[in-house]
Amino acid sequence: MGRSTVFTTPVFGIIAGAVVLSTVAAGVVTVGLIWYLDRHRGSAGADWFIATLTAQVLLTLSYAVALLVSAPTVRAHLEALSWIGLAWMGPLFMGFALGYTGREQLIRTYGFGLVLLVPTVTTALAVTHPVHGLLWQGFELSTPFGLSAALYAIQPWGYLTMVVTFAAAAVGVLLLVETTLAYGALYRREAAAIALSTVFPASGIITWVLRVGPYPALNLTPVLLLPHTVLDTYAFVGTHMFETNPTTQRAAERSALDDLGDPLIAVDTEQQVVNRNDRAQALFGGPDDDLLPVPVETLVGTPLDVLRERGEITTEGADSRIFAVSYTELTDTNDTPVGGLLVFYDVTDARQRQQQLTVLNRVLRHNLRNEMTVIKGHANLLREQVTDEQLELPAEAITEASESLLSIAEKAQEFDRLKQRDPYVTETDVVELLEEIRTELLGSFPGATVELDVQTPTIRADPAMLTVALSNLVENALIHGPGEASFAAVRVVTTDDGRVECTVADRNDRIDDVEIDPLQAGDETQLEHGSSIGLWIVTWSVTAMNAEIEFDYDDGNVITISLPG
């Protein structure tokens, strides 16, 4: 290696001072930016960009010191550190762009692994440069403007390193430009600033590698990193680059943002609206897309936490509507949360129908019951006082009909009372429960037979719901039995898979499909006689117990309730 005298004048001169101070300033500002961005670790692309800035610090500060060192050996080691920083900047920047734009799955590919292999090998070659000439040869010092610069012949691997870091940085820029084109103004300032910032170091690398200009030994890349860092600082400090990033948008796209017919809003991790479909814009109005992001509360009028807690919102105005609110978390391909989707379902009509059903249910439970009690009383009085058989028979029919309607009202009222309370699952004595049911029903059907076969005497169930379901099944079997010879058999067993089966069998004719089909469909659509209220209450009770019901026929109806073990 050759050697030249470095400090030939007592003052570096204005140019020399500007070069050194700019290089040092680039490193110091970059360190400050790393400190600022540390709070965003874990955000999409943030770790990669911090790594990029770390490589940038290594390049700028090592080169700033190198400009002031005249010892050839020390100067060569400092040059090696500059090479390491330069080799890693492009690939790490590409990793940042992939992560920031929502393409982090590409980071785990073999292709990107090969990109990272180049700076890894370059690092090894730079550290071991004294024992080989694979990175450069003919190292000698030069003193442009009184500074210590190095002049040498870059070897093929060195050129490959420059090509890879330059190409990787170019790919990163293209990804950011694509983001601007895809998502409009929301990320335009940040992406444009980052993309523009790469022009400065890129021009420095090209000028130095091609030996353009009167001072080929002087590498201006570290100097040009100062405007590069200033633009980066604007992008990350002056805007909301890591508070809001395109990964939220890309995840929202995977959820078919514009395919839903309901209003939909995409929010980021800072509870800001970053996108919305046309239905949401028509419903809530708000600023133009160019002015996004805005807080959820600004657009909707309610904070996101409150929306998620309440689960619904009522819009103001003459056409006030009620919306159920659904929140779905959005994640990137690493399952890292990047925001969420708010979907607003118009439930106004359903809520009105629910209110109407509530009023109708109250009328049926109270008014109808009271009126039918009066009708039954008058019918009984009429039957006792008349002597004409032609009048006695209608009076008896009125009494029976009123008793049937009263029974329906009482069953509905009992189930409604149970439904209003919280589910209560406990160890239940099935033998005692069935004995009580049998005793009560035999009081109404004195000539009937109710057989019990309990092989599992204790089960875990909601005793009140189970009582309602089994008593209605047994009663239904006795009501439709042949006169006083009505028969019902109840069997309780545990199956091989651990479930508990409660089976009620009778000797009656098969229950008509017109009764069972609505139960299995979950909807009463028949205008004629549909399923009896008893079977409906059984079905509702089974559903409330998270159980299953099955209807079969084997010389009589066989109805099985299968309970979780």
| Domain residue spans of the chain | 14-238, 250-346, 352-420, 421-565
Predicted local distance difference test score (pLDDT) of residue 353: 73
Per-residue pLDDT of the chain (565 residues; tens, 9 = 90+): 444 444 445 545 788 888 889 889 989 988 988 888 888 787 777 889 899 999 999 999 999 999 999 899 999 999 999 999 999 999 999 998 888 777 777 888 888 999 999 999 999 999 999 899 899 998 988 888 888 888 899 999 999 999 999 899 888 888 877 766 555 555 566 667 767 777 888 888 888 888 887 888 888 888 888 888 888 777 666 555 555 555 555 555 544 555 567 888 888 888 888 878 878 888 888 777 667 778 888 888 888 888 888 888 888 766 778 888 888 887 765 677 778 888 888 888 877 777 766 666 666 666 666 766 777 677 777 767 776 666 667 777 777 677 666 666 666 666 666 666 677 889 999 999 999 999 998 888 888 999 999 999 999 999 988 998 999 899 889 988 876 678 999 999 999 888 999 999 999 988 888 778 777 765 544 433 444 677 888 888 888 888 999 999 998 999 999 998 7
Q: Residue 174 in contact with residue 103, Cβ under 8 Å?
A: no
Token duo for residue 113: 């692994």
Predicted local distance difference test score (pLDDT) of residue 191: 64
Give the CATH number of domain 14-238.
Answer: 1.20.1070
Pairing of strands 426-429, 312-314: unpaired
Predicted local distance difference test score (pLDDT) of residue 236: 65
Task: Render pLDDT for 36-64 as a digit per residue (tens, 0 to 9).
Answer: 888 878 777 788 989 999 999 999 999 99
Strand locations in 458-534 (E): 458-461, 487-494, 500-505
DSSP letter (8 states) at residue 317: S
Alpha-carbon distance 143 to 146, whole Å?
A: 5
Predicted local distance difference test score (pLDDT) of residue 363: 64
Residue 437: which of 427, 425, 451 has the closest Cα? 451
Task: Render pLDDT for 537-562 as a digit per residue (tens, 0 to 9).
Answer: 888 888 888 899 999 999 899 999 99
Residue 294: which of 262, 271, 314 has the closest Cα? 271
Predicted local distance difference test score (pLDDT) of residue 52: 92
Predicted local distance difference test score (pLDDT) of residue 528: 37
Q: Is the sign of the CA dihedral 486, 492, 495, 501 positive or negative?
A: positive
Angle at 213 between CA 207 and CA 214, to 5 degrees: 145
Q: Residue 169 in contact with residue 93, Cβ under 8 Å?
A: yes
Q: Is the sign of the CA dihedral 211, 213, 214, 215 positive or negative?
A: negative
* Chain centroid offset of residue 81 CA: 44
Predicted local distance difference test score (pLDDT) of residue 543: 85
HSE, CB side, 13 Å, CA atoms: give it for residue 299. 30
Predicted local distance difference test score (pLDDT) of residue 550: 92
Q: Residue 205 in contact with residue 159, Cβ under 8 Å?
A: no
- Give me the torsion for CA of 222, 225, 226, 228, rounded to 10°: 180
Cβ neighbourhood burial of 339 (10 Å; 0-12, 13-18, 19+): buried
Predicted local distance difference test score (pLDDT) of residue 285: 83
Record the pTM: 0.49
Angle at 199 between CA 218 and CA 43, to 5 degrees: 115
Predicted local distance difference test score (pLDDT) of residue 124: 95
What letters, b where the CB count within 10 A reaches 16 and e where it falls short, cover 201-212? Answer: bbebbebbbeee
Predicted local distance difference test score (pLDDT) of residue 431: 94
Predicted local distance difference test score (pLDDT) of residue 318: 65
Task: Render pLDDT for 249-274 as a digit per residue (tens, 0 to 9).
Answer: 555 554 455 556 788 888 888 888 88
- What CATH architecture is 250-346? 2-Layer Sandwich (3.30)
Q: How far is CA 415 from each of CA 4, 88, 169, 296, 355, rounded to the nearest angstrom?
A: 100, 71, 69, 42, 19
Length of the chain: 565
Predicted local distance difference test score (pLDDT) of residue 16: 82
Q: Quote the radius of gyration of the chain (alpha carbons, Å).
A: 41
- Give me the torsion for CA of 349, 350, 356, 362, rounded to 10°: -160
Strand locations in 372-531 (E): 426-429, 449-454, 458-461, 487-494, 500-505
In the numeric block, the tokens 């090592």 are attached to 62
- CATH match for 421-565 among 3.30.565.10, 3.40.50.80, 1.10.10.10, 3.40.50.720: 3.30.565.10
Predicted local distance difference test score (pLDDT) of residue 521: 66
